[in-house]
Structure 1
Amino acid sequence: MNRLFMIFRLIRKDIVVMLFALINRRTPKVFRLAILAAILYFVSPVDIVPDAIPAAGLVDDAVIVPAILAGLRQLLPPEVLEDCEHSAGHYGKFLPMVVVIATILLLLWTFLVVYGIYKLLFT
């Protein structure tokens, strides 16, 4: 798991640039679909090589996801790429704070769901 976090740190800026490209109006629709497919592949438990296979499962994510990001980065129109890199550089410094806030909100939401289920079943 520690290796996945290391890989994430290496490609973090590219991920932020691609997320800004996803919301940029000048990004072609086909490109947006490709970004969404890459994100879904990264978070999906279904991989080309299952993560249950020691080492090979992690290498799968470590190779395929950065390759997809590099390919998408080259296919992005230059003016959109420049705009997204500028936005990523400006807002990228807030990324750790966003992750902390998202984690807190997710924990709060999970607590409320568990509390609601408890109240439904035991009252």
Structure 2
Amino acid sequence: MGKIKAWAKNLKQQIFVLYLANKDERVPWYAKLFTACVVAYAFSPIDLIPDFIPIIGYLDDIIIVPIGIMFAIKMIPNEVILECEVKAEEMMKNGKPKNWIVGSLIIMLWSIIMLWVILKVYQLFN
């Protein structure tokens, strides 16, 4: 159980590293775009596979997020990662950052997507 907690803590710290790296001007635009998607998905309360579905509901948290983090870290220069790791460790000690604007945008985006899907399904059956 201790290994799982350490893995989860490391995963959370890597998400903060990506969050901080996304603000650095030394990171290429394509890496910023990919990193923003990974961080938004990790922080999003909505998953591709809902968690209430037994077993496979947690697959996106266990597989998709770590793979996205791995690819994002490979796109970012090493010196940026090292600097952001120090900042992320400090941030985790002081508490998570709260960005209500971005959180609201994520929820609004998911709501628009869900509304679009509902409308398409409704049109399909009528």
Contact 2:13–2:88 (CA under 8 A) maintained in structure 1: yes
State the one-letter code of the partner of 1:38.
V
Matches within 5 A, 1:1-123: 8-42=8-42, 43=44, 45-47=46-48, 49-95=49-95, 98=96, 102=98
Q: Size of the alignment, in residue pairs?
A: 93
User: Which secondary structure state, in structure 2, belongs to the residue aligned with residue 54 of structure 1?
Assistant: coil
Deviation at 1:20, TM superposition (A): 0.9
Quote how far apart the aligned CAs of 1:31 are.
0.9
Percent of residue pairs bearing the same amino acid type: 26
Q: SS at 2:22's partner residue?
A: helix
The structure with the largest alpha-carbon Rg is 1
1:46 deviates by 4.8
Counterpart amino acid of 2:46?
Answer: P
Higher helix share: 1
Q: Secondary structure at the match of 1:11?
A: helix
Question: Which runs of structure 1 show a deviation greater than 4 angstroms over 4 or more consecutive aligned residues?
Answer: none
Deviation sequence 1:76-119 (CA, Å, 0-9, x none)? 11121122122223333112xx46xx5xx9xxxxxxxxxxxxxx
Tell whether the 8 Å contact from 2:15 to 2:39 is kept in structure 1 after alignment.
Answer: no
Segments of structure 2 that go 5 or more residues without pairing to the other structure are 101-126
> Does the residue aligned with 1:30 lie in a helix, a strand or coil?
helix
Residue ranges of structure 1 left out of the alignment (5+ in a row): 1-5, 106-123
Question: What is the TM-score when the length of structure 2 is the normalising length?
Answer: 0.60
Please tell me the residue identity of whatever aligns with 1:77. Answer: P
Query: Structure 1, residues 32-73: CA drift from partner, whole Å, max 9, x if none?
Result: 1111111233316251x3434211011222111011112211
Distance in 1 of aligned mates of 2:51 and 2:92: 29
Q: What residue in structure 1 maps to residue 115 of structure 2?
A: none
TM-score, with length taken from structure 1:
0.62
RMSD of the alignment, in Å?
2.5
